[in-house]
Chain A
Amino acid sequence: MKTIRFLLNGKEASIEVEDNETLLCALRERLGITSVKEGCGIGECGTCTVLVDDEPHYSCLTLASKANGRDIKTVEYLSSSGVLHPLQEAFIRSGAVQCGYCTPAMLLSAYSLLLRNANPDAHDIKEAISGNLCRCTGYIQIEEAIKNAAEICKCNGQD
């Protein structure tokens, strides 16, 4: 067991983890953050995506100890101010949510894109979510949602 300290959705967190524990497991089972999903366990579906220093990573392939000293974000961060992030609004409005199992991870990949690129074109958006599988939507309404959210974020000057 070891203690790891990290920023979790903007707040200091400190937990004990096993040496062989994944970040996915630590988030879900020690911290109760079940928005981070397990879909395959080997980095081939994307539902476990979290942001590590604002970059999307697969938490199923990340040792929990790697979170030490890092900034970890899950979908809870997006609405931590108490209001929905424009991406979340847009996902709801654009029909980007069907079964919803891929949704939190999809939102994080999209959020990371908008941090890097405030004016993503259609290809940028496709590429940004190309490591997140969705079996329901065919991605199209997700891409529309991200495009719409990017417009709104630009107007708001929001990250």
Chain B
Amino acid sequence: MLPKFASVTARTKDEALSWLSSLENPKIIAGGTDLMVKMRAGKHYSHIIDVAGIPELLGVTEKDGRMSIGPAMTHARLSTEASIVRNARSLALACGLVGSPQIRNMGTIGGNLGNASPAADSIPPLLIHDAVLTLESRDARRKVPLEEAIVAPYVTSIDVKELIDSIEISPLRGYREGYRRVAKRATWAISRLGVAFAIREENGRFLDARLAIGSCTPMPFRAKKVEDLLKGAPKNEATISEAIRMALEEIKLISGIRPSYAYKLPVLQGILEEVLRG
């Protein structure tokens, strides 16, 4: 049983923005896979604005070397969208691992970001692709890097009157890219750990290595210090073990020691070894 609310279905972005600005205590719904669960547990909003069918919020486009993803794109569509598979393989893989087929048919990438779960599968891949959100309200439009948009577990800096207009990412070509995740069940389970990686190497050196880790810290994070270390470094065991040491240090710095780390850190170490060794 859901709490009482009024719901409207927006046909255009402008319509959605105008409702967002005028209606009291509004909340956007797209796939509903997170929001409906929260509302069933008692979370209350006065107005629900359905944006799932707005054509402007769908599709993937490429412009000036950047790609723009419509936030209402479902996980299912992104996981098979040719340009995403080609240019952001980790994102396609991660979207293909979210929930179950039904959840992937319903849930959207915008919703996954808006929900800002520490375990959201789409976030680590977006981080390594330098994702920037374009947020729009009736009166303003602004760009925020994804890293800044998520401010705490399940909390974003997106205003209640704002809508995610698009998610811009940098395509990565010539990278060995992927997404590894661990969960307690073969599928349809919350990630206990998620690692997005994109690595470019040449002549035994790392040219560029991008790593983002989810389900480990309060917010998925990109291991920038590790990336800096790897840039230009020779690909050998010494580099790899130093990079891993640094990654684990960084995590402990962010979160302190958590009981779950007895499991997660050794696993992360093993995954990073495999990822960096290729």
Contacts and interface: CB of A to CB of B under 8 A. Distances in A.
A57 B7 contact: no
Q: Is the interface of A mostly helix, strand, loop or mixed?
A: mixed
B99 interface: yes
Interface of B: 2-7, 9, 29, 31-33, 36-37, 39-40, 48, 50, 52, 76, 99-103, 105-106, 186-188
23 contacts: A19-B6, A19-B7, A20-B3, A20-B5, A22-B36, A42-B40, A43-B33, A43-B37, A43-B103, A55-B76, A55-B105, A56-B105, A63-B29, A63-B50, A65-B50, A66-B9, A66-B50, A109-B102, A127-B101, A130-B100, A130-B101, A131-B99, A131-B103
Contacts of B36: 22, 42-43, 60-63
A46 B100 contact: yes
Interface string A95-113: 0000000000000010000
Nearest to A68: B9
Given A20-B2, A56-B101, A131 B40 contact: no
A30 to B, nearest CB: 15
Contacts of B6: 19
A42 B37 CA distance: 6
For chain A, the bracket of interface size reads 20 to 34
B5 A19 contact: yes
Interface string A76-104: 00000000000000000000000000000
Nearest to B185: A130
B105 A63 contact: no
Nearest to B104: A131
A22 B186 CA distance: 29
B199 to A, nearest CB: 28
Contacts of B50: 63, 65-66
Contacts of B2: 20-22
B4 A43 contact: no
A41 interface: yes
Contacts of B102: 43, 46, 49, 56-58, 109, 131
B33 A61 contact: yes
A109 B32 contact: no
A130 B103 contact: no
Contacts of B101: 56, 109, 127-128, 130-131
B225 to A, nearest CB: 38
Interface string A109-125: 10000000000000000
B30 to A, nearest CB: 10
A49 B106 CA distance: 12
A22 B99 CA distance: 20
A43 B48 CA distance: 19
B106 A62 contact: yes
